[in-house]
Amino acid sequence: MSEQDRINEHSKDKQLEPFRRDTGENLTTNQGVRVDDTNNSLKAGARGPTLLEDFHLREKMMHFDHERIPERVVHARGSGAHGYFQVYESIAELTKAKFLQDPSVKTPVFVRFSTVVGFRGSADTVRDVRGFATKFYTEDGVYDLVGNNMPIFFIQDGIKFPDLVHAIKPEPHNEMPQASAAHDTFWDFISLMPESMHMIMWVLSDRALPRSYRMMEGFGVHTFRFINEQGKARFVKFHWKPLLGMHSLVWDEVQKLAGKDPDFNRRDLWEAIEMGEYPEFELGVQIVEAEDEHKFDFDLLDATKIIPEEDVPVRPIGKMVLNRNPDNFFAETEQVAFHPGHVVPGIDFTNDPLLQGRLFSYLDTQLIRLGGPNFAEIPINRSVCPVHNNQRDGYMRQTIDKGRVSYSPNSLAGGCPMTNPENLRTFVHHAERVEGHKIRERSDSFKDHFSQATLFWNSLSEPEKDHLVSAAHFELGKVEHKEIRQRMVDLFNQVDHEFAKRVAQGIGVPEPTEEVMKNHKRRSPALSMENTVKDTVKSRRVAILAADGFDHSQLTAMQQALQNAGASTKIVSKFGGKIRSIDGQEIEVDKSFVTTASVMFDAIYIPGGQQSIEALKQQGDAIHFVNEAFKHGKAIAATSEGVDLLKQSDIAGAVMVEPQSSEPMTSRKGVVTALNGANLSAVAEAFVGAIAQHRHWTRTQKERVPA
Ligand code: HDE
């Protein structure tokens, strides 16, 4: 295989091919011996004891007994996808990384998205950071960008990681709560760790509730280095930007989803790829010249800080497309082993003490999780370029190394495999000059823990601020120890006085009286999700509520319009089976009220049809569907008699749903109505626009709507 062939979009796929296995016709043992019966163990007489001789039983049971491996200590619950990455144009001036040179090369990738805190079987939609780990199978070896959906971290030094994780995981005496930070040990720790304040603002924000893995940003978090062919080093921060924009769920919704569909984000990713709606992310970089290292009012080595995008713009350098679901969850998504230390020539580390801590942890944890030192040979982890070294043996060794030489230097194998520091494709560590005393100390340049927390707060829109305050009410409201709640309010008071007062009001502790830290009033618009992409409904899911006697032409016209815009629809009714329109046409119901809920959709549409609407009006589930979608800020459309269902619901008083005679159609705060079905194309256009807005947070009366 030529080098070029080896690195193309399909090279990883081809490499995996020999490992794939179909079900096969005949059931055999692991030795390939055909089995006569797998339903009855071998016994001495039909009612007699089982015989030790039953090799099929023993082998089957032995394998089953060992099917589980330890789950990841953090990021246990994940979802993977294959795809490729393509650079827009060569960035050779910045880095010699081979996969960032040639726009015609599609470098294969495998991505694993994850939650951090919950166990492997926990719900997807919890309030948490999301992992965003990408394995690039490049021509110069495997490069892992092991990032998160938040650009910073809780702690500045890796040595605090075990403490952080112990504090946030379920409490050790009773193993509660699952997949949640809302408990005493976490907030006890945080209230004593002011360096976590910036990250805490992100975790309390809507960023912690992504609508989809396809709609969240990713960040390398640490400052890394790019090294070009001339050996010039620059600082770099990595950003993934979703082409669909960043969008979130609402708190009430995520809690319901955790019960109704704990696989919500996983299913969303899987279905999108199956339907050809391939998730796309742009890779961007913020570059800082080496000589500018100290020009910021924070330290580039401090992982609790961002470089505001307005100060150093993010330069898009390429695009990743995820276009193939894994064949087997365990073999790929579970066994994949990421490591921030997997770098290729052209990408290097900095002295960020958090990053340095990570460099030890990942290999170490994989040793036990994947059962020995040979996990790089597991198909999903294999490099697509050749691997040669003197490593031998160990549990589960796959490679059959030929010859008698496994040491260096040697003469018997002509000195091979050789090292070659002169070759530009060889990884040579950046020769950074370092000097210092051996001390356990934090640099003074790491000591401002509040300015960027304030920057984040200042940059949010009003609805985002409201959500953040409510999140603090929930999280801290669950904390039993009042002194911990108090300490948090005192810390928040150093972020913003008004914010701290609002939090205090909801958690039963006195409001701070003094403004201890003057708000610097700086903002970074890039931090608000209000300023994200809002011009597409691609891959959005719309529920159409209907019953017998619905208006077929309205329903199908809306379906068509939504599909043309890239959204997909599901017909929801009381029961599964078929429903019949006024003019006798039958359509298949996709989901019944018991198998779905408004929380699984981005928007709802109610077509007319007297009989259909009369039936829906009698169904509490239909009314609830409307109320709940309204409360969660979702776009709602109703035409002709469909408007009556809105009037019957609790949203009638909350928005003006009755079109005026002078207005054939109304569209207010994401509720689109028309008494006349003839206006369907205008309704559809307004509805598509309303869905593209994602959510209509400014519905002032939504709090009064029960749901
Ligand atoms: Fe991780 N982290 N981490 N982490 N991390 C792991 O590695 C660790 C940190 C991240 O989908 C573990 O194989 C330490 C920051 C992701 O398989 C473990 C520190 C960021 C994933 C580990 C950090 C991350 C992990 C658990 C502080 C964002 C999931 C299982 C020094 C930049 C990768 C494993 C996947 C997984 C250690 C901090 C991202 C224990 C010690 C900061 C996305 O090795």
In the prediction, which pLDDT does 655 show? 72
User: Does 68 reside within a domain?
Assistant: no
Pocket test for ligand 1, best of 358, 369, 378, 380 (most atoms within 8 A of CB): 358
Residue 695 in domain: yes
Average pLDDT over residues 324-343: 98
pLDDT tens, position by position, 290-330: 999 999 999 999 999 999 999 999 999 999 999 999 999 99
Mean pLDDT (the chain) is 96
**In a shared domain, residues 564 and 490:** no
Which are the contacts of 385, defined by CB distance < 8 A and separation ≥ 6?
3, 6, 7, 138, 139, 140, 141
Range of the domain at 255: 78-180+207-381
CATH code of the domain in which 97 resides: 2.40.180.10
**54, burial (CB in 10 Å: exposed 0-12, middle 13-18, buried 19+):** middle
Model confidence at 588, in pLDDT bands (50, 70, 90)?
A: very high
**Does residue 515 sit in the same domain as residue 554?**
no
CA 362 to centroid of ligand 1, rounded, Å: 7
Query: Distance from the CA of 679 to the center of ligand 1, in angstroms?
Result: 53
- Looking at residue 644, which CATH number applies to its domain? 3.40.50.880
Same domain, 601 and 620: yes
Residue 534: other Cβ atoms inside 10 A: 15
User: What CATH number does the domain containing 468 carry?
Assistant: 1.20.1370.20
**Domain boundary residue among 332, 351, 381?**
381
| Helix 482-495 / helix 497-507 crossing angle, nearest 10 deg | 160
Mutate to test the pocket of ligand 1, among 150, 352, 356, 362 (most ligand atoms within 8 A of CB): 362
Question: CA torsion 508→510→516→520, rounded to 10°?
Answer: 40
Q: Average pLDDT for residues 457-471, to the nearest whole number?
A: 97
Closest C-alpha residue for ligand 1 atom 29: 75
Atom of ligand 1 nearest to the CA of 158: 31
25 within domain boundaries? no
Q: Which residue has the tokens 């064949």?
A: 327
> Which residue, judged by its Cα, is nearest atom 3 of ligand 1?
358
Residue 49 lies in a domain: no
Tokens representing 215 are 């709609």
Pocket probe mutation, ligand 1, options 135, 165, 334, 361, max atoms within 8 Å of Cβ: 361
Average pLDDT over residues 521-535: 96
Task: Judge if 610 and 502 occupy the same domain.
Answer: no
Residue 705 pLDDT: 86
- The 10s digit of each residue's pLDDT in 182-239 is 999 999 999 999 999 999 999 999 999 999 999 999 999 999 999 999 999 999 999 9
Residue 461's pLDDT is what? 97
Same domain, 486 and 583: no
Q: Are 477 and 204 in contact (CB under 8 A)?
A: no
Angstrom distance (rounded) from CA 149 to CA 130: 5
Atom of ligand 1 nearest to the CA of 155: 27
DSSP symbols for 241-280: EETT---B--HHHHHHHHHH-TTHHHHHHHHHHHTT---E
Mark which of 487, 502, 531 sits at the end of a domain.
531
Instruction: Tell me the one-letter amino acid at 59.
Output: E
Q: Is the pLDDT of residue 659 over 80?
A: no
The answer to whether residues 568 and 691 belong to one domain is yes
Q: Beta-carbon neighbour count of residue 669 at 10 Å?
A: 20
Q: Is the pLDDT of residue 1 over 60?
A: no
Active site residues: 75, 148
Q: Which of 74, 112, 266, 381 to mutate to test the pocket of ligand 1 (most atoms within 8 A of CB)?
A: 74
Give the atom of ligand 1 at the shortest distance from the alpha carbon of 112: 11
552 pLDDT higher than 80: yes
**What separation in Å is there between the alpha carbon of 595 and the centre of ligand 1?**
36
312 and 220 co-located in one domain: yes
Question: What single letter denotes the amino acid at residue 312?
Answer: V
Tell me, in angstroms, the distance from the centre of ligand 1 to residue 351's CA: 17
Asked if 522 and 565 sit in the same domain, the reply is: no
pLDDT tens digits for range 277-287: 999 999 999 99
- Do 289 and 237 share a structural domain? yes
Distances (CA, A) of 470 to 205, 479, 631, 700: 10, 14, 15, 16
Contact (CB, 8 A) for 128 and 179: yes
Q: Is residue 346 situated within a structural domain?
A: yes
Task: Indicate whether 704 pLDDT > 90.
Answer: no
Residue 176: closest CA among 518, 406, 515, 480 = 480
Residues 550 and 526 in one domain: no
User: Atom 20, ligand 1: which residue's CA is nearest?
Assistant: 147
For the stretch 232-253, pLDDT in tens is: 999 999 999 999 999 999 999 9
For 39, residues 6+ apart whose C-beta sits below 8 A from its C-beta are none
Question: pLDDT-derived band of residue 661, with 50, 70 and 90 as boundaries?
Answer: low
Residue with CA at minimum distance from ligand 1 atom 42: 153
Tell me the CA–centroid distance for residue 358 and ligand 1, in Å.
7
Distances (CA, A) of 628 to 157, 518, 617, 671: 43, 40, 15, 13
Report CA(24)–ligand 1 centroid distance (Å): 38
Residue position matching structure tokens 């589980």: 68
The first and second tokens of residue 556, run together, are: 């199908």
Q: What are the distances in angstroms from CA 615 to CA 317, 580, 621, 641?
A: 54, 13, 11, 12
573 in the same domain as 498 = no
Residues 545 and 519 in one domain: no
3 within some domain:
no
In this predicted structure, what is the pLDDT of residue 325? 98
The Cα 118–Cα 179 span in angstroms is 4
Say if CB 543 and CB 596 are below 8 A apart: yes
Ligand 1 pocket (Cβ < 6 Å) reads: 72-75, 78, 112, 114, 131, 133, 146-148, 153, 158, 161, 221, 336, 338, 354, 357-358, 361-362, 365-366
CA angle 219, 221, 225 (to 5 degrees): 105
In a domain, 441, yes or no: no
pLDDT of the residue at 51: 97
State in Å: Cα 188 to ligand 1 middle: 23
Q: Is residue 502 part of a domain?
A: yes
**Residue 153 alpha carbon, nearest atom of ligand 1:** 42
Backbone phi, psi, residue 531, to 5°: -95, 20
Tokens, residue 502: 């609002």
Q: Which residue has the higher pLDDT, 676 or 696?
A: 696
CA of 130 to the centre of ligand 1 (A): 11
Number of independent structural domains in the chain: 3
Q: Which of 480, 505, 531 is a domain's end point?
A: 531
Q: Which atom of ligand 1 is nearest to the CA of 161?
A: 27
